[in-house]
Structure 1
Amino acid sequence: MSGLTLAAETGADISLSGGNLTLIIAVGGIALVALAMAMVFRAQVLAAGEGTENMRTIGLAVQEGASAYLTRQFKTLAVFAALAFALLFVLPADDNAIRIGRSVFFLVGAGFSAAIGYFGMWLAVRANVRVAAAARDEGRDPAMRVAFRTGGVVGMATVGLGLLGASVVVLIYRGNAPAVLEGFGFGAALLAMFMRVGGGIFTKAADVGADLVGKVEQNIPEDDPRNAATIADNVGDNVGDCAGMAADLFESYAVMLVAALILGTAAFGAEGLVFPLIVPAIGALTAILGVYITRPRPGENGLRTINRSFYISAGVSAVLCTLAAFLYLPGSFDELTRVDSGGGLLASLIGAVPEPTGDPRVIASVAVIIGIVLAAVILALTGYFTGTEHRPVKDVGKTALTGPATVILSGLSVGFESAVYTALVIGAAVYGAFLLGGGVTVVSLFAVALAGCGLLTTVGVIVAMDTFGPVSDNAQGIAEMSGDVHDEGAAILTELDAVGNTTKAITKGIAIATAVLAATALFGSFTNAVSTAAEKANQNETGEALLGLTGVLNVANPANLVGLLIGAAVVFLFSGLAINAVGRAAGAVVFEVRRQFREIPGIMEGTGRPEYGKVVDICTRDSLRELATPGLLAILAPIAVGFGLGAAPLGAYLAGAIGSGTLMAVFLANSGGAWDNAKKLVEDGNYGGKGSLAHEATIIGDTVGDPFKDTAGPAINPLLKVMNLVSLLIAPAVVALSVGDEKNTGLRVAIAVVAAVVVAGAVYVSKRRPVAIGEEAPEPRTVQV
């Protein structure tokens, strides 16, 4: 490759040729095209009619609540961002330019993640009323188009900002771009995790509180305006599902690119720095296609329309990525000027590393196709376990005839079973991609990262599918609260809401698969970082004893076993903290809604107006109060393990977290989705219909599933990537302090102890909070319903 110079050691600088620079600039241009299309779709959404005055008034209340919440949330998160910025600045790097760039692009990544979440929410709360108006005045197809184009705006912004950030870093830093992108990915992941946790607590506290008092105790519809929690529930859908999911998938996008560029540089050299950018750039173009072709055929179910668009855009992506691989990559590894393939310490620890063989074009294209196929399989698998037309949800709905206990048991069963199949599918994809490396570890790990990039070619459509759900849900809520949409329009919105429930469940499954692939690729980047740091410390001869990399998962080593168990345990603790936070905040909502029904005259008769703002305030205050503990756990637990036990136990910690996190996330998401759609099944007239004992049983199941599928489950995705990125960033310091004099040992242990004490203190404070955080919440025994 003319113009390419690459030293034969890991981390060497790469000089890009004019042709490669042109390609990277073209990728940046495609990013700008995606952002331009986002503006086009936005204009189309805002051009739609807003309906009646009553509908606009309700929509405005939701807009104000969502904007106020996110503004307060970002002020809270600014403190964490400042601390993380300072931490990145003091961590070691090859030179000052990289350290400064890493810290600056941490802020860029965090800013992009926040911007996508905020502007996604901004448009969604304005699209809600427009979808309701379109269903009322124009029919199903225009309503569906407005809802999906709203998602298209968020999808285009996600891929556009992700590609723009990565391409700018590569243009500026060239061969050092992967190190700088670690900061970019960390910023995106950290903000996404907080937005997922905070938004999830908000939305599910309002949802659970509204259901328990309104639907169960007062026997009124879900979005009845007499329920004081309805506005908060609609606000929560936007700050949780729209803002949170958009930020989640953006950070998946950014983090996967980080891992792909790190491993690609080691495996393919300059081509490995460019090709991972070409793949998602193609995905950005096919996402535009996917949004435009989402047009229902006469009499066609909305879910089938959306699925068809997804499959077509995924298929086109597979063809174009294959063509790109064969046009750009050479036909043999001899034509690549690469870094040492897993050499140095890593090679000495895992045995002799053979020279790569095979055709890089075939390896790259097959890896990308594996990722695209994985997305399609996850879509079908999740749809089967959570769709109302399939047996699992029908069985859950039927158990409602025998009460809430059997509904909960059957939903748990669906979650457990689906987690096994999903994990096997993801595992098969990871292993299939890994085999493409032909025994060369770094090439195999790069293939896994490329599979993740392949999956991410569908992100634009995935985000559109996900945003479609809460927008349709809120449109139905506005229609019901306003009372201005009747008969045919109401039936259209009910259908779109049911479709949205399934698309939300499907996109959660794909997001989980993305998280696992990204975490696996980052794990490979972590081992390379540890190896490089040990080489610099001149530990070639004692590296195996120091790092134990031959036994990262050798549970005969007690330190590794402890690391593995802690990694798995952190996922459980994180999930428990998130669900418990929803329970406390929902308790405060229940007390407040009960108080209003009891003390405000005429609410049930429709002559008294509920105090909606008080419930919004409760959800805002309590969700932000609960952010700190899960965030500190995600950041400080790897630090405590790494500095306390060493690099190998930290690797085992990550493996334990990835394994348990995959199963836990799928279990929580699919069990919650099954309970939700079982409730919809009964509300459609099955097993007694609305108001029956079976309906009440499914409502209980749905309230249990709400924090499962919309708080704890989705938050595990960014949790895995935050922990992997923290481990990647601290790996050089962990290795450096693991060698040398006793002063290093003392400092290392002190860091671990401080991190562990802070986590323990945060958990203790969290557990000391009352069950219901409402300032004036009475004791449960004194409440009269």
Structure 2
Amino acid sequence: MFDVVIMALLCGVVAVIYALTLAYLIMKEPEGKGRIVDIANFIKEGARAYLKRQYSIILIIAIIIAVLLSIFSVRMSLSYILGALSSVLAGYVGMWIAVNSNVRTTYAAKEHGLSKAFKIAFRGGMVTGLMVVGVGTALIAVQYLLYGGGPNTPDVIRDLIGYSFGASTVALFARAGGGIYTKAADIGADLVGKVETGIPEDDPRNPGVIADNVGDNVGDVAGMGADLFESYVGAIISSMVIAASAIRVLAGGEWIRWALLPLAIASAGIIASIITSLVVRVREGGDPSKPLTLASIISAVIISILTYPLSTWLLGPGIGIRVFLVVIVGLAAGITIGLTSDYFTNKNKKPVRRVAEMSQMGAALTILSGLSYGFLSVVIPAVGIAVAELLAYYLLSPLGFWYGIYGVALAAVGMLSLTGVVVSADAYGPITDNAAGIAEQAGLGENVRSLTDKLDAAGNTMKSISKGFAIGSAALTALAFLAAYTSSVSQIAGLDFSMSMMLLSILDIKVLVGMLVGIVLPAAFISLVIMSVSDAAFVLIAEIRRQLREKPGILEFKEKPDYGRAVAIVTSYALKRLIAPGLLAIISPIVIGFVLGPYGLAGALLAAIITGLLLGLFQGNVGNTWDNAKKFIEEGHFGGKGSETHKAAVIGDTVGDPLKDAAGPSLNILIKLMSVVSLVFSPVIVSVNLLRILGMV
């Protein structure tokens, strides 16, 4: 069975090498000269400064947590450090290549046209995607080998939970901090620029424009990369934990085949991502969104083709076909979520155009119509995830109850085998967004800006799809961790695995109270994040107004704005205000577990996952609907830029910004991190809790 681990290690290493090769090819492309390089350097400096300060804070917190974990397990503590460093590495490399690809994309559009510019931007996104899956898969395999994993050492897999915990810690601060930064900058730049002074988006006269461009990278590249890196490694490890606990009791020595199956599927996903990257192209005059959408479908087909022989090799043809179908179910769920998000957020579809039409009657109808479509947009994804879980469970439950639960976790692995391509398409978005901004700020010709805007429009569509995919995959991953947590608690408490899940009945008062507590946690988390965005935006708006008031020549191109001051303000506030949401995510499951015991905590996790899924999908979709309604109007519909309709749409977009790019995506991390923390501390929660101390259990 070590063949599977070696295969995963090799696939991960190949992915990293290929990513670095693509980065090298991008850096060989000319970046031009003059104004576009100056603007790009401002963006680079701002992004680098933000990440440097953010990672320094993460380092301090990670060291404290690693020391605490070493009390329970030195190997888990080491895995935690590796998980944190892996997430930092994947995020930093992705951000670095994004801020170097943007100006090269702009220059390629100017000198060569659409096809060349698309190639550079897509390669830039592919670097991030391949780093995420390559680093994650390779280091899980390396740790398994170093710790002496095998049929007789199931504890090795439990130590791998630390790797997921480390990735979760970084993801929380990267996603929440990056979201607070990018949306505070976006709101500040939009309200003063578009609404108050009437200057267009990405105008160089706006003192907040560089902060806005920086935010695209720290939020949608480093933040999204860390988010899906966490989901990716979490789905793999949670499946392995279920196999090493519950299935080991049921299957004996054969459990190791089930434990290593997720690594085999992850390897198939890496191969599919690399092949897909070689065939994605766009012709001159073509629509860039089509090959980006097609990339996910091509990757899903390749994964499906590879999964069947891998699963039959590990588990035999009878069980292999069932595993194959579970993976198909996961892939189908991921694509369904993506297509639904696309329908509700694509400016060529009815919902966005209807919201744009409603904006003619004022901002109130912009908000109301967007809210109605936002709530409607959660129905199909939620039902799709429910159906996927049901099918995944019943495909494997004939082998036993815990095999069915394992099937749910494996469906998450199937969905997340698309991570390489999904992250690539998402990271493509900020690159083209920056490229369009650079073209606008540098005053390049209308023909160049039309090309960069076309690339940017495709990027906006992919960002909408990837946000839906991220929250859907987060929910499945969190449910997989919940199952792993329950199997771990059952093993620690010495319960019969066939009966342990029955103890999660909502008729149990501990579970019911836990669910009531769990329901409110996403709401509290959203409140903290949105308030943080509001406070940071408030200070930035005051700074932009001050500069425009004290330097009236800025609007006449006679004086230069102080971009650095705006960047420094948003950086400081974003990092200060992410501490409270971070503590809520890490400490709340420990407190709930201590007060209500392991089953009360399980109820809280279940409620938080369901609530977080619905609120996350709603916020992501409604924000993108308002955003694209604004963009549709800016194309000349219903009065175009500067009209009253446009001003109403800008208000809708501004309200939606913190929802779709800060609070909504951060919920992904909340539900996963709560589940991981619960799993890590499950031995303590079982042994030491208030109910046990008081003799009430």
Partner of 1:45: 26
> Residue 76 of structure 2 is aligned with which of 70, 95, 102?
102
Could you tell me whether the CA contact under 8 Å between 1:197 and 1:627 is conserved in 2?
Answer: yes
Q: Which amino acid aligns with 2:422?
A: I
Deviation at 1:45, TM superposition (A): 1.3
Deviations 1:276-319 (A, max 9, x none): 10101111011011112110145431111111122112111111
**Quick check: 1:138 aligned with 2:112?**
yes
Partner of 2:415: 455
With over 3 angstroms needed to count, the CA separation of the structure-2 counterparts of 1:611 and 1:553, relative to structure 1, is farther
Partner of 1:561: 512
Q: Which amino acid aligns with 1:61?
A: F
Q: Secondary structure at the match of 2:160?
A: helix
> Residue 430 of structure 1 is aligned with which of 389, 401, 405?
389
Distance of 2:410 and 2:130 partners within structure 1: 21
Q: Secondary structure at the match of 2:554?
A: coil
Partner of 2:588: 637
Spell out the pairing of 1:351-390 with structure 2 (5 A cutoff). 359-390=318-349
Distance of 2:408 and 2:524 partners within structure 1: 29
Spell out the pairing of 1:302-451 with structure 2 (5 A cutoff). 302-331=288-317, 359-438=318-397, 440-451=400-411
Partner of 1:256: 235
> Residue 698 of structure 1 is aligned with which of 631, 649, 667?
649
Could you tell me whether the CA contact under 8 Å between 1:363 and 1:447 is conserved in 2?
Answer: no
State percent identity of aligned pairs.
40
Partner of 1:590: 541
Deviation at 1:456, TM superposition (A): 1.7
Could you tell me whether the CA contact under 8 Å between 1:169 and 1:180 is conserved in 2?
Answer: no
Distance of 2:652 and 2:214 partners within structure 1: 22
Distance of 1:540 and 1:251 partners within structure 2: 31
Partner of 1:210: 189
Partner of 2:257: 271
Distance of 2:485 and 2:631 partners within structure 1: 44
Q: Secondary structure at the match of 1:646?
A: helix
Distance of 2:310 and 2:326 partners within structure 1: 13
> Residue 194 of structure 1 is aligned with which of 167, 173, 186?
173
Q: Secondary structure at the match of 1:602?
A: helix
Partner of 2:565: 614
Partner of 1:774: none
Distance of 2:182 and 2:529 partners within structure 1: 12
**Quick check: 1:292 aligned with 2:292?**
no
**Quick check: 1:33 aligned with 2:33?**
no
Partner of 2:250: none
CA RMSD, 1 decimal? 1.9
Q: Which amino acid aligns with 2:93?
A: F
Partner of 2:100: 126
Deviation at 1:165, TM superposition (A): 1.2
Q: Which amino acid aligns with 1:526?
A: Y
Q: Which amino acid aligns with 2:536?
A: A
Q: Which amino acid aligns with 1:222?
A: E
Q: Which amino acid aligns with 1:180?
A: D
Partner of 1:356: none
Q: Which amino acid aligns with 1:36?
A: I
Could you tell me whether the CA contact under 8 Å between 1:156 and 1:284 is conserved in 2?
Answer: yes
Deviations 1:332-358 (A, max 9, x none): xxxxxxxxxxxxxxxxxxxxxxxxxxx
Distance of 1:311 and 1:504 partners within structure 2: 16
What are structure 2's unaligned runs of at least 5 residues? Answer: 248-253
Deviation at 1:79, TM superposition (A): 2.0
Could you tell me whether the CA contact under 8 Å between 1:737 and 1:745 is conserved in 2?
Answer: no
Deviation at 1:553, TM superposition (A): 4.1
Partner of 1:480: 440
Number of aligned residues: 684
> Please, which moves more after superposition, 452-461 or 668-677?
452-461
Q: Which amino acid aligns with 1:172?
A: L
Partner of 2:664: 713
Deviation at 1:558, TM superposition (A): 3.3
Q: Which amino acid aligns with 1:329?
A: L
Distance of 1:169 and 1:52 partners within structure 2: 46
> Residue 504 of structure 2 is aligned with which of 549, 552, 558?
552
> Residue 88 of structure 1 is aligned with which of 66, 69, 74?
69
Deviation at 1:549, TM superposition (A): 5.2
Could you tell me whether the CA contact under 8 Å between 1:534 and 1:540 is conserved in 2?
Answer: no
> Please, which moves more after superposition, 301-310 or 401-410?
301-310
Deviation at 1:464, TM superposition (A): 0.7
Could you tell me whether the CA contact under 8 Å between 1:226 and 1:604 is conserved in 2?
Answer: yes
Distance of 2:461 and 2:202 partners within structure 1: 20
Partner of 1:147: 121
Distance of 1:309 and 1:211 partners within structure 2: 33
Distance of 1:134 and 1:293 partners within structure 2: 20
**Quick check: 1:69 aligned with 2:20?**
no
Deviations 1:380-404 (A, max 9, x none): 1111011011101111111110011
Q: Secondary structure at the match of 2:307?
A: helix
Distance of 2:371 and 2:137 partners within structure 1: 39
Spell out the pairing of 1:178-189 with structure 2 (5 A cutoff). 178-189=157-168
**Quick check: 1:495 aligned with 2:454?**
yes
Could you tell me whether the CA contact under 8 Å between 2:115 and 2:284 is conserved in 1?
Answer: no
Could you tell me whether the CA contact under 8 Å between 1:297 and 1:305 is conserved in 2?
Answer: no
Which of structure 1's runs of 4+ aligned residues deviate more than 6 A? Answer: none
What are structure 1's unaligned runs of at least 5 residues? Answer: 1-19, 92-98, 332-358, 750-785
Partner of 2:287: 301
Deviation at 1:52, TM superposition (A): 2.7
Partner of 2:212: 233
Deviation at 1:588, TM superposition (A): 0.6
Q: Secondary structure at the match of 1:607?
A: coil
Q: Which structure is higher in helix share? A: 2
Q: Which amino acid aligns with 2:176?
A: V
What TM-score comes out, normalization by structure 2 length? 0.96
Deviation at 1:438, TM superposition (A): 2.5
In terms of Rg, which structure is larger?
A: 1
Could you tell me whether the CA contact under 8 Å between 2:79 and 2:163 is conserved in 1?
Answer: yes
Distance of 2:47 and 2:133 partners within structure 1: 24
Partner of 2:576: 625
Partner of 1:339: none
Deviation at 1:610, TM superposition (A): 0.7
Could you tell me whether the CA contact under 8 Å between 2:203 and 2:441 is conserved in 1?
Answer: yes
**Quick check: 1:280 aligned with 2:266?**
yes
Q: Secondary structure at the match of 1:438?
A: helix
Partner of 1:4: none
Spell out the pairing of 1:166-185 with structure 2 (5 A cutoff). 166-173=140-147, 174=149, 175-185=154-164
Could you tell me whether the CA contact under 8 Å between 2:119 and 2:281 is conserved in 1?
Answer: yes
What TM-score comes out, normalization by structure 1 length? 0.85
Deviation at 1:739, TM superposition (A): 9.6
Q: Which amino acid aligns with 1:399?
A: M
Deviation at 1:660, TM superposition (A): 0.1
Deviation at 1:450, TM superposition (A): 1.5
